[in-house]
């Protein structure tokens, strides 16, 4: 039986990093919000312009909203850590006690006893689920307790708290102890997949045990996604990481699948790299929809968060996701071309989604994105697109950045037919009062040169108040052939052809009761001409003459110049 040789987890979790997540409208979050800067994209809003006044831009640049925020705590320095071999309590422990006494969120009843650890677990600095881990304890260890709390924790004489699920007054049977000792002291077999480990308890206090020393019997089964066979090692972002970062990436994925709360960080990585890799996993593993957006990050251990740890709930949600995704995939499978498949995905996501600035629930996940059970942010749009691409065998990655105002945002880079393209489904779904049939295609398969540092900034950077973190270098997008307007014959070189096409587009929109009339031109001069005040009034007079039901038209100019899309909206009475 192993005595209490607690493995100390890095303390000094000081600097809080705010990480932005992908969503439709994404604002940069401050450190004090305690979260991964979420992606809050500005979604174009339309505003009316009368015939007699000089028209203003009708669509506001995509609105910003704040996605879920991930609190990331960094260790202050390696020198402040206390090694596992030390017998005296580290400075962090006394600081923890002070914090607990000054801001206590529970009540205690005095109780003195010797108790036994029933499962591998961590003691926490507070008597609440999700509190910072202090020390690891192993099945069969003895601990002295001094009180029990109304939150279900026992207070330890040495400091910290352990949930009652992991302690018992009954001494474990000798056979169990012997087995446990053997499991910890025997070198682990090479064929054990330590990523498929998990505690099956209801609380999240079970620790992520050391794979080298703990054997394979301490965890439950990993959560797998039926029919989803994408390997992390095949992802573009994964390939851009160092060997140690890839190792941490794998640990994160395995831990989330197993609902483990603590991951040991490979040697040599900084806390910034720990945050960086977590952000990439959060963004580019869309199937892990229960993964939380907050992490306490140090150079020895990282503590993860979850939206839920209820396996039954996750399973039920996955069934809903499967049903919704299969319906979209079946529609896409009727087409052989990648452009057509991506348009099915794009249209489906835009038509069934509602953009929100709220960071609550699953609005940054594929659950809301596919089931329409709630609103989504840009992260939800981008992850949903990636998930569908994964199922269809189309290479895709999620990229985060910002708009021109520094509000964080996210979109996709996909491989289509002849090269890589940017695909922004969030900005295909603007905020307006035109109803659910509104789709715009300005950012459907576009090269970097049309959007980088024009509408999309800080490409693949995690923005936070303490400084931006480069995540990975996305593939260069240089092609134009698959762009929506080229692929669907809505691209024009001359002013005469473009003008005629705009009249035809207005006719088509009014005939179908649609709100969008748009074409793309290859010349900035032609774009400026057809978006001028004179042409605005001309097109408006024409539209009103076509139908008495037309109230006015509005031009979207604030975010279309880079892509050179002449875009007018029809507003009906």
Residue 273 near residue 245 (C-beta atoms within 8 A): yes
d(CA 29, CA 408): 9
Among 69-78, 102-111, 242-251, 351-360, which stretch is predicted with the lowest mean pLDDT?
A: 69-78
More confident residue, 386 or 432: 386
Residue 260 near residue 198 (C-beta atoms within 8 A): yes
- Residue 546 scores a pLDDT above 60: yes
Helix axis angle for 311-332 and 338-352, nearest 10°, is 130
Residue 43's pLDDT band, with cuts at 50, 70 and 90, is low
Q: Which of 446, 438, 404 lies closest to 556, judged by CA? A: 438
- What pLDDT was estimated at residue 216? 31
Please give the structure tokens belonging to residue 230. 């994408």
Residue 458 near residue 448 (C-beta atoms within 8 A): no
Which stretches of 45-170 are assigned E, i.e. beta strand?
Answer: 70-75, 108-117, 121-124, 133-137, 142-149, 153-156, 161-163, 167-168
Decide: pTM greater than 0.75.
no
Q: What is the mean pLDDT of the chain?
A: 78
Residue 122 contacts by C-beta under 8 Å, 6 or more apart in sequence? Answer: 9, 133, 134, 135, 136, 137, 162, 205, 206, 207, 261, 262
Q: Does domain 491-573 have CATH number 3.30.1370?
A: yes
Domain boundaries, the chain: 491-573
CB count in 10 Å sphere of residue 25: 28
Among 92-96, 340-344, 526-530, which stretch is predicted with the lowest mean pLDDT?
A: 92-96
- What pLDDT was estimated at residue 485? 98
Taking residues 17-46, what's their average pLDDT? 41
Please give the DSSP secondary-structure letter assigned to residue 85: T
- What pLDDT was estimated at residue 373? 86
Residue 178's pLDDT band, with cuts at 50, 70 and 90, is very low
- Residue 487 scores a pLDDT above 50: yes
List 501's β-bridge partners, or say none: none
Among 218-227, 300-309, 353-362, which stretch is predicted with the lowest mean pLDDT?
A: 218-227
Please give the structure tokens belonging to residue 262. 């603590």
- Residue 520 scores a pLDDT above 70: yes
**327, burial (CB in 10 Å: exposed 0-12, middle 13-18, buried 19+):** exposed
Residue 357 near residue 426 (C-beta atoms within 8 A): no
- What pLDDT was estimated at residue 464? 87
- What pLDDT was estimated at residue 146? 93
- What pLDDT was estimated at residue 45? 55
Q: What are the tens digits of pLDDT across the range 440-471?
A: 999 999 999 999 999 999 999 999 888 899 99
Element (H, E) at 539: helix 533-546
- Residue 326 scores a pLDDT above 50: yes
């Amino acid at each position: 039986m192993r005595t209490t040789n607690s493995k100390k987890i890095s303390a000094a979790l000081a600097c809080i990093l705010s990480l932005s997540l992908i969503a439709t409208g994404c604002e940069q979050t401050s450190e004090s919000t305690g979260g991964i800067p979420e992606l809050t994209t500005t979604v174009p809003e339309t505003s009316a312009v009368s015939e007699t006044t000089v028209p203003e831009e009708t669509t506001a640049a995509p609105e910003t909203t704040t996605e879920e925020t991930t609190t990331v705590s960094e260790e202050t320095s390696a020198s402040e850590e206390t090694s596992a071999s030390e017998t005296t309590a580290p400075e962090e422990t006394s600081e923890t006690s002070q914090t607990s006494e000054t801001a206590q969120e529970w009540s205690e009843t005095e109780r003195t006893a010797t108790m036994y650890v029933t499962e591998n677990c961590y003691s926490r600095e507070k008597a609440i689920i999700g509190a910072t881990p202090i020390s690891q304890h192993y099945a069969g260890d003895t601990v002295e307790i001094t009180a029990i709390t109304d939150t279900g924790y026992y207070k330890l004489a040495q400091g910290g708290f352990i949930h009652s699920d992991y302690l018992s007054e009954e001494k474990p049977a000798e056979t169990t102890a012997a087995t446990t000792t053997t499991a910890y002291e025997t070198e682990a077999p090479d064929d054990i997949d330590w990523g498929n480990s998990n505690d099956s308890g209801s609380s999240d206090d079970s620790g992520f045990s050391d794979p080298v020393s703990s054997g394979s019997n301490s965890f439950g089964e990993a959560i797998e996604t039926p029919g989803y066979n994408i390997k992390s090692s095949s992802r573009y972002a994964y390939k851009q990481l160092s060997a140690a970062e890839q190792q941490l990436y794998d640990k994160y994925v395995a831990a989330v699948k197993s609902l483990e709360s603590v991951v040991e960080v490979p040697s040599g990585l900084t806390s910034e790299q720990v945050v960086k890799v977590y952000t990439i996993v959060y963004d580019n593993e869309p199937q892990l929809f229960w993964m939380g957006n907050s992490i306490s990050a140090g150079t020895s251990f990282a503590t993860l968060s979850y939206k839920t740890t209820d396996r039954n709930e996750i399973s039920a949600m996955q069934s809903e996701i499967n049903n919704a995704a299969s319906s979209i995939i079946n529609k896409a499978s009727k087409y052989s071309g990648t452009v057509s498949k991506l348009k099915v995905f794009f249209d489906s996501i835009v038509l069934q989604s509602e953009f929100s600035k709220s960071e609550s629930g699953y609005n940054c996940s594929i659950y809301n994105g596919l089931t329409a059970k709630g609103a989504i942010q840009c992260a939800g749009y981008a992850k949903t697109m990636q998930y569908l691409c994964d199922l269809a065998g189309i290479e895709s990655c999620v990229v985060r950045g910002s708009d021109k105002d520094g509000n964080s945002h996210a979109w996709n880079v996909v491989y289509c037919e002849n090269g890589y393209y940017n695909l922004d489904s969030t900005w295909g779904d603007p905020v307006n009062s035109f109803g659910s049939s509104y789709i715009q295609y300005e950012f459907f398969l576009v090269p970097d040169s049309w959007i980088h540092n024009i509408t999309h900034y800080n490409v693949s950077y995690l923005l936070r108040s303490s400084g931006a973190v480069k995540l990975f270098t996305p593939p260069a997008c240089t092609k134009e052939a698959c762009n929506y307007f080229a692929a669907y014959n809505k691209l024009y070189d001359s002013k005469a052809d473009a003008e005629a096409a705009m009249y035809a587009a207005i006719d088509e929109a009014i005939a179908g009761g649609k709100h969008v009339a748009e074409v793309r031109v290859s010349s900035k001069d032609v774009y400026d001409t057809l978006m001028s005040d004179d042409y605005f009034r001309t097109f408006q007079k024409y539209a009103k003459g076509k139908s008495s039901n037309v109230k006015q038209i509005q031009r979207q100019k604030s975010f279309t110049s880079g892509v050179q899309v002449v875009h007018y909206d029809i507003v009906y009475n």
